[in-house]
């Protein structure tokens, strides 16, 4: 539970407008000087040797709790000083809050590097940024980055006809996931949100290739080949090419998948997620 600190304000000083006995719970300060005191609560005021807690203020009239912080309620004459001072409670509340924080997050300096430890007894440790979960650490030390860039695109509705002898853009139709909405199915382009290292995996399976025909796949980074792989059919039948690498992408760098074959006439690129797909994952 968060600590409710006493509300401070500089130069909050006035005088009592009318004497009070030792039991009343309302008092007034000099006309027009109530505004010198806070408009939020609680705050403590001092009248001679008594500390009173103010729980509300209506212009120059204060609602108070008497005899705070071990002091004794007493009568006070008209014109006595009414002051908002730093009291022992204000300091002890601050000390208690800081000590609680230090116990929850102990820190130390090791070899010039600041380290901190956090202990959780009620489940995983969850880190958020602007209210959005960004990381999760399980009790056995497995870390999950909830919003780390990553996507997988594939073809589902039908085969894609690929002409012979020319590099052709792959037209993916579906996404298995896309955590940051970085892959655009309309343009067949992945655009990086953040700079870093990205793991790229691309696979294409062609239907009914002839013996000795060549197939190839590639991902182009900003229009230039970033990864390419090829395969030569050893016999007539379906043929698969796949490629795997890690590349550096700056923010707004983009990737485009392409395929190639030299069968001599159009061939079909297989559909289904496990046969022809592209997966991209930010790893650092």
106 pLDDT more than 70 = no
> What was the pLDDT predicted at 66?
97
> What was the pLDDT predicted at 232?
76
pLDDT tens column, 224-244: 988 888 877 667 788 888 889
> What was the pLDDT predicted at 135?
78
How many domains are there within the chain?
2
31: domain CATH number is: 2.40.30
| Residue 4 resides in a domain | no
Q: What percentage of the chain reaches a pLDDT higher than 90?
A: 67
pLDDT tens column, 171-213: 999 999 999 999 999 999 999 999 999 999 999 998 888 888 8
Q: Are residues 185 and 263 in the same domain?
A: yes
Q: Are residues 73 and 197 in the same domain?
A: no
> What was the pLDDT predicted at 25?
97
The range of the structural domain enclosing residue 221 comes to: 150-282
Q: Are residues 275 and 182 in the same domain?
A: yes
Q: Are residues 63 and 187 in the same domain?
A: no
DSSP one-letter string for the chain: ----PPPP-TT-EEEBSS-B-SS-SEEEBSTT-GGGS-SSS-EEEEETTEEEEEEEEETTEEEEESSGGG-----B-TT-EEE----HHHHHHHHHHHHHHHHHS-EEEETTEEEE----SSS-EEEEETTEEEEEE-TTS-EE-TT--EEEEE--SS-EEE-TTS-EE----EEEEETT--EETTTTEEE-SS-EEEEEEEEEEEEEEPTT-EEEEEEEETTEEEEEEEEE-SSSEEEEEEEEEEEEE-TT-EEEEEEEE-SSS-EEEP-STTTSEEEEEE--
| Residue 136 resides in a domain | no
> What was the pLDDT predicted at 147?
76
The reported pTM is: 0.57
> What was the pLDDT predicted at 130?
75
pLDDT tens column, 153-170: 999 989 999 999 999 999
> What was the pLDDT predicted at 101?
76
């Amino acid at each position: 539970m968060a600590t409710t600190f006493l509300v401070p304000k500089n130069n909050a000083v006035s005088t009592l407008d009318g004497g009070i006995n030792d039991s009343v719970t309302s008092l007034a300060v000099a006309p027009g000087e109530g505004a010198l005191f806070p408009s939020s609560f609680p705050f403590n005021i001092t009248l001679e040797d008594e500390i009173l807690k103010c729980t509300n203020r209506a212009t120059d009239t204060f609602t108070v709790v008497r005899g705070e912080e071990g002091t004794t309620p007493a009568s006070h004459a008209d014109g006595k000083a009414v002051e908002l001072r730093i009291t022992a409670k204000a300091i002890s509340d601050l000390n208690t809050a800081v000590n609680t924080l230090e116990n929850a997050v102990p820190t130390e300096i090791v070899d010039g590097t600041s380290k901190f430890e956090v202990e959780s007894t009620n489940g995983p440790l969850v880190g958020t940024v602007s209210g959005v979960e960004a990381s999760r650490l399980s009790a056995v030390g497995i870390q999950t980055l909830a919003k780390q860039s990553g996507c997988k695109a594939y073809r589902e509705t039908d085969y894609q006809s690929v002409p012979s002898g020319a590099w052709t853009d792959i037209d993916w139709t579906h996404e298995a996931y896309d955590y940051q909405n970085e892959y655009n199915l309309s343009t067949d382009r992945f655009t990086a949100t953040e700079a870093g290292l990205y793991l790229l995996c691309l696979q294409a399976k062609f239907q009914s290739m002839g013996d000795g025909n060549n197939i190839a796949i590639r991902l182009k980074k900003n229009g230039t080949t970033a990864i390419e792989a090829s395969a030569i059919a050893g016999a007539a039948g379906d043929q698969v090419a796949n490629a795997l690498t890690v590349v550096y992408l700056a923010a707004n760098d983009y990737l485009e998948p392409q395929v190639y074959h030299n069968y001599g006439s159009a061939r079909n690129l297989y559909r289904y997620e496990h046969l022809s797909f592209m997966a991209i994952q930010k790893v650092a």
